[in-house]
Structure 1
Amino acid sequence: MPVANPERALALSYAPMEARGALEALLALDDALALLLRTTREPALGQLRLAWWREALARLDREAAPAEPVLTAIAGEVLTRGVRGEALVPIVHGWEVLIEEEVLDRAALQRFGEGRGQLFVAAGAAVGASPGDPLLAAGQGWALADLSRNLRGSAEAESAQVLAVPLLDEAAAGRWSRNGRALGALVHLARLDLRAEGEPPVGAPHRVGRLLWHRLTGR
């Protein structure tokens, strides 16, 4: 989902002002990794490029960020809020599953969701979410729902959706804390995306209304 998407921009506006940059930086990291996979044809090259990201993120804990915009933003916005670069490495491992596995069976999809879903755990720490916010389920469900839409029409897409739905339902069942509501809004968008026939109608009144209700109530 691109940063320019108005629904994502609305969801990000629910984060505390001082933490909004951190959430934007983390989603930009996820976008960069997604772009890497879309533009890499050779698996071996993809693994090398992902290894560079893993090492670069871990080095942020002991060295200044290199002249790379995403890493600079991570160092300036995320690490300054108590999140370590090493904690972001599992996100890369999650994306790496798509290169390592020729067939995305249930176990591979679960590994993907668990790894990429750590983005929500890091984001929750950065925005000051409550310990009661369902960050693990939310992150895994969001990651799998997004993957299922990008694999649309395949058996793997159906499997990813089957795994995503109960996780997203769990994440949407309770009341999100005020600081965590930006992440809860992303959960609701993912659920709406899975229910849409064809391309999701971004900006449709029922979608925006759902986000506004979540902002007011946390549900």
Structure 2
Amino acid sequence: MSTPAKDDPLNRDDAASADARTVPDLPLPFPLLIAHAPRRDRAWHALCWRIDGLMARTVLGAKEGAMAAIRLAWWEEALTGAHSAPNDPLLQEWLAFSPGIHAGDCVGRVAEAWRMLLDPAPMSEADWRRFGEGRGRLFTLIARSGEGNDVLNGAGKVWALWDMARRDPDRARAEGAFAAAIEMAGTIEDGILSRMRPKPLMLAAGMALDDVRACHLPAADFSLRQYLRLLRRAIFG
């Protein structure tokens, strides 16, 4: 399945989108998810997905753990305001949104989760739960929500682990992440999930839950099966 053109379906027309076009397109399914956000929020959603994707590539594509740790720390400090941001398009776009302390805290939790994977020791079940809790704050960041949204937090944990299983070329780690996602999925009810907002996060969580409940370890590439399930949820909830 080919990736949609840069301005379709994102169709962003706000000022912040100018910098967004200077980075590579997001892979599927993210453009499809962003298309279901209100137009005013699409640039923000795209930016948050790109930040997580950048951290994922930094860690999962690392040849040397020490260098990856340095790069990850640099991005974390720049995004959380620990040092002034250089003239980087992504960082300048982040600053243009004036994200605030809560957003910086969410980014720090996501970065800390990715940092766990740089430890050469195998991840335990407890480690995977911590990873899901930390990276799952990406949902809180995108929604600009407070800490008390249990549905959003739970959905974020399951998605974070499912997507990790989808991305990681290390089969053992992928299976560990997926097992943790199965464990965490039991607390999420479809009736509650269908009412979760913003809608792109409901769709992302639903896509993850479909695989998790079927015990179907996801492939790295976005499949036609996943597209049809996402479409069905988008229409029927």
In which range does the TM-score fall when normalised by the shorter chain? 0.7 to 0.9
Q: CA RMSD in A?
A: 3.1
Structure 2: give runs of 5+ residues left out of the alignment: 1-24
The counterpart of 1:66, out of the listed 79, 83, 86, is 86
The residue number in structure 2 matching 1:134 is 151
The counterpart of 1:4, out of the listed 12, 27, 45, is 27
The counterpart of 2:206, out of the listed 175, 180, 188, is 188
Q: Partners in 1 of 2:48 and 2:170 — Cα distance?
A: 29
Counterpart of 2:48, as a letter, is L
Deviation track 1:42-90 (CA, whole Å, cap 9, x = no partner) reads 2222222121122111217x95x4322222222224728x853233111
The residue number in structure 2 matching 1:37 is 59
Q: Partners in 1 of 2:226 and 2:27 — Cα distance?
A: 17
Q: Partners in 2 of 1:40 and 1:145 — Cα distance?
A: 21
Structure 1 residues 144, 197: closer, same or farther in 2, change over 3 A?
closer
Counterpart contact for 1:117–1:143, Cα < 8 Å: yes
Counterpart secondary structure, 1:15: coil
Q: Partners in 2 of 1:137 and 1:175 — Cα distance?
A: 10
Counterpart contact for 1:25–1:78, Cα < 8 Å: no
Comparing 40-49 with 169-178, which one deviates more in the overlay?
A: 169-178
Deviation track 1:12-51 (CA, whole Å, cap 9, x = no partner) reads 1111211111111010001111111133222222222121
1:19 matched to 2:41: yes
1:91 matched to 2:110: yes
Counterpart of 2:89, as a letter, is P
Structure 1 residues 184, 78: closer, same or farther in 2, change over 3 A?
farther
Q: Partners in 2 of 1:111 and 1:197 — Cα distance?
A: 20
Structure 1 residues 83, 24: closer, same or farther in 2, change over 3 A?
farther
Structure 1 residues 47, 193: closer, same or farther in 2, change over 3 A?
same
Comparing 173-182 with 98-107, which one deviates more in the overlay?
A: 173-182
Identity of aligned residues (%): 25
Counterpart of 2:39, as a letter, is M
1:48 matched to 2:70: yes
Per the normalisation by structure 1, the TM-score is 0.79
Structure 1 residues 170, 124: closer, same or farther in 2, change over 3 A?
farther
Displacement, 1:183? Answer: 0.4
Bigger RCO of structures 1 and 2 (CA < 8 A, at least 6 apart): 1
The residue number in structure 1 matching 2:160 is 143
The residue number in structure 1 matching 2:231 is 212
The residue number in structure 2 matching 1:79 is 99
1:109 matched to 2:131: no
Q: Partners in 1 of 2:123 and 2:62 — Cα distance?
A: 18
Q: Partners in 2 of 1:183 and 1:202 — Cα distance?
A: 17
- Whichever structure has more helix as a proportion of its residues is 1
Counterpart secondary structure, 2:162: helix
Counterpart secondary structure, 1:100: coil
Structure 1: give runs of 5+ residues left out of the alignment: none
Counterpart contact for 2:165–2:217, Cα < 8 Å: no
The residue number in structure 1 matching 2:181 is 164
